[in-house]
A and B are shown apart, each in its own frame.
Chain A
Amino acid sequence: MHDSKDFKIPIGPQHPALKEPEGFSVALKGEKILGVDIRLGYNHRGIEKAAEERTYVQDIYLIERVCGICSHSHSTCFVQAVEEIAGLAVPIRALYIRTIIAELERIHSHLLWLGVAGHEIGFDTLLMYSWRDREVVMDILAAITGNRVNYGMNTIGGVRRDIDAQQTEDILKALTILEERTKYYIEVATQETTIIKRLSGVGILSREDVLRLDAVGPTARASGVKRDVRADDPYAAYAELSFKVITDDHADVYGRTVVRVKELMESYKIIRQALKNLPAGPLTVRAPRKIPVGEAISRYEAPRGEDVHYVKSNGTEKPERVKIRAPTLANVQAVKHMLRDRYLADMPIVVAAIDPCFSCTDRMVALKEEDCARAKIINWQTLHAFSIEWYKQQGIDFTELNKKLQDKLKG
């Protein structure tokens, strides 16, 4: 039996439970997880570097594709930084439209998550239900922006498309349907015994750990930490809208589920207010092609947590440096902590509970020659001799056999 020894199993990069290519190496003792090594990098495309080689306008569309689920988050966060450097006063109508799209995106992302979470615990009915309802938001997004994902709504100094009266009506109609459905999901999440039993006590992350590991977004809020950029450091039109920051004290996967479904209700509230108060006016201000010298940091509450972009400009039409800190990078350390001493079967749902987005997160580490001091190149003869020695040490002697072989070759 193995139980006195611990062993390692590799998961990924291609794995049925995870849609993105990431590798985990899980050290196990029986069913218990001793430690997890997360191997990122399969999805690293080098966007930050590429952003330096393209103009600001091209970068909006590139950075939108950092992540296809929170695409509006990334592009808004980026243009906010650029607008700050350039000192542009973005029209209020544009800020409102950005907010509306942002909340629609949060709805689509949270519904998507609910489905994935259902799938990970073997509750595929929930997946089909919530994805069916998600299509309602997708239709609205497609109608307003022209694309289902990667909306291309932002431009430096404003937004590219308007919301007209007909669309407003459509959005309100869709919200009514979604609200009905969300009430049902809240009921399911808070009363359905299967879900409660499966999710509570799984992936515990205490309040102290959230503060120590700097978790963000719903992961932090589910542990009772009131951390939401929309309220703490309002951007776009959030300062003028009233909403509640949802928190929960369960500090486990169940808490994260509750936070997300309740946040859906807040999003409906925000969109309704924004549509009602949508001010008239232009959509954009003229932005210069060359952005003046300067640097800025911009924060944004993406569906997964706080997103931070840093942009440095050197006075040309291309940025000198763009740095992206996506929410998953902040939460990924917490996952390691949550998994320790848990059972292997909980792993998919615990990982899914932070709503990971590895395409936002992937980094690359370049190893320099010096770091590989142990590596050396050996030729065939040395390798052969080394292998014979190695086997001798293991108590297997190939000398006789080798001689026979040599003789045969000669003869």
Chain B
Amino acid sequence: MSLTKKIVTWARIKSPWILHFNTGACNACDIELIAALTPRYDLERFGVILKGTPRHADILVCSGPVTKQIEDRLRRIYEQMPEPKFVVALGTCACSGGVFDGCYNVDSGIDKVIPVSAYIPGCPASPKALIDGVAKLLTSLEEKEETKKSGR
């Protein structure tokens, strides 16, 4: 691994920038995500910053079962993100459709549309679960880097 690449990976794991996208959620998971960023839980101490545009984001956090109307937008936002990119499905309905499974206008889960790296269940997923999920995702990235290194 070249030095620049090493630095980039290190920075990415230490300070992942997230983009939140509501794909038809009931709002509860969205406010829990914001709650995770405010003083009580303070995700920012892990270097996580909420960003406004897909071009700046490393992790796409999606909540909601993906409505038909938003499907294309979700795909487009995913395509606009720079590599390497990760998707987190936040909430039961983002994981599997949850309570909305079987509704005529939903796709029942983010992974029906774009690949997902981490699932955080809960209806709504509490800020603690969210922090846990993001931390696990980051650890798994770190481990991947390690195995890559030791593989050489």
* Chain A residues at the B interface, C-beta cutoff of 8 Å: 13-16, 19-21, 41-47, 49-50, 53, 61-62, 65-69, 71, 112, 115, 127-128, 131-132, 134-135, 138, 147-150, 357, 359, 364
The interface centre, meaning the residue of A46, A115, A127 with most chain B CB atoms within 10 A of its CB, is A46
The smallest C-beta distance from B106 to any residue of chain A, in angstroms, reads 5
Q: Which residues of the partner chain B approach A13 to less than 8 Å between Cβ atoms?
A: 70, 73
Tell whether A359 pairs with B39 under 8 Å between CB atoms, given A42-B73, A44-B67, A69-B31: no
Whether the Cβ atoms of A131 and B26 lie closer than 8 Å is no
Let me know if B86 is at the binding interface, CB within 8 A.
Answer: no
Residue interface mask B79-113, A partner, CB < 8 A = 1: 00000000000000100000110111110000000
The smallest C-beta distance from A218 to any residue of chain B, in angstroms, reads 18
23 chain-A/chain-B pairs, Cβ below 8 angstroms: A13-B73, A14-B73, A14-B77, A15-B52, A16-B51, A19-B30, A20-B30, A21-B23, A42-B67, A42-B73, A45-B24, A45-B105, A47-B100, A47-B103, A68-B29, A71-B26, A131-B34, A132-B38, A135-B35, A138-B35, A150-B123, A359-B25, A364-B105
The smallest C-beta distance from A368 to any residue of chain B, in angstroms, reads 17
Q: In the bound complex, what is the Cα–Cα distance between A49 and B104 (angstroms)?
A: 8
Interface of A (DSSP majority class): loop
Q: Which residues of the partner chain A approach B40 to less than 8 Å between Cβ atoms?
A: 131-132, 135
Contact partner of B99 among A41, A65, A147, CB < 8 A?
A65
Whether the Cβ atoms of B70 and A42 lie closer than 8 Å is yes
Q: In the bound complex, what is the Cα–Cα distance between A21 and B30 (angstroms)?
A: 11
Q: Which residues of the partner chain A approach B135 to less than 8 Å between Cβ atoms?
A: none
Contact partner of A62 among B34, B51, B69, B99, CB < 8 A?
B99
Whether the Cβ atoms of B70 and A131 lie closer than 8 Å is no
Whether the Cβ atoms of B69 and A19 lie closer than 8 Å is no
Whether the Cβ atoms of A46 and B106 lie closer than 8 Å is yes
The smallest C-beta distance from A404 to any residue of chain B, in angstroms, reads 36
Measured CB to CB, the nearest residue on chain A to B64 is A43
Whether the Cβ atoms of B39 and A132 lie closer than 8 Å is yes
Q: Which residues of the partner chain A approach B65 to less than 8 Å between Cβ atoms?
A: 45
Pick the 8 closest A-B CB pairs, nearest first.
Answer: A68-B28, A16-B52, A131-B38, A149-B28, A68-B27, A46-B105, A68-B26, A46-B103
Whether the Cβ atoms of B103 and A150 lie closer than 8 Å is no
The smallest C-beta distance from B50 to any residue of chain A, in angstroms, reads 8
Whether the Cβ atoms of A20 and B27 lie closer than 8 Å is yes
Whether the Cβ atoms of A50 and B102 lie closer than 8 Å is yes
Q: Which residues of the partner chain A approach B104 to less than 8 Å between Cβ atoms?
A: 46, 49-50
Q: In the bound complex, what is the Cα–Cα distance between A138 and B39 (angstroms)?
A: 14
Whether the Cβ atoms of A19 and B34 lie closer than 8 Å is yes
Q: In the bound complex, what is the Cα–Cα distance between A359 and B27 (angstroms)?
A: 7
The smallest C-beta distance from A147 to any residue of chain B, in angstroms, reads 8
Q: Which residues of the partner chain B approach A20 to less than 8 Å between Cβ atoms?
A: 22, 27, 30
Measured CB to CB, the nearest residue on chain A to B102 is A50
Let me know if B142 is at the binding interface, CB within 8 A.
Answer: no
Q: Which residues of the partner chain B approach A115 to less than 8 Å between Cβ atoms?
A: 38
Whether the Cβ atoms of B28 and A42 lie closer than 8 Å is no
The smallest C-beta distance from A27 to any residue of chain B, in angstroms, reads 22
Q: Which residues of the partner chain A approach B126 to less than 8 Å between Cβ atoms?
A: 148
Tell whether A67 pairs with B38 under 8 Å between CB atoms, given A21-B70, A42-B69: no
Whether the Cβ atoms of B105 and A44 lie closer than 8 Å is yes
Residue interface mask B17-47, A partner, CB < 8 A = 1: 0001111111111111011001110000000
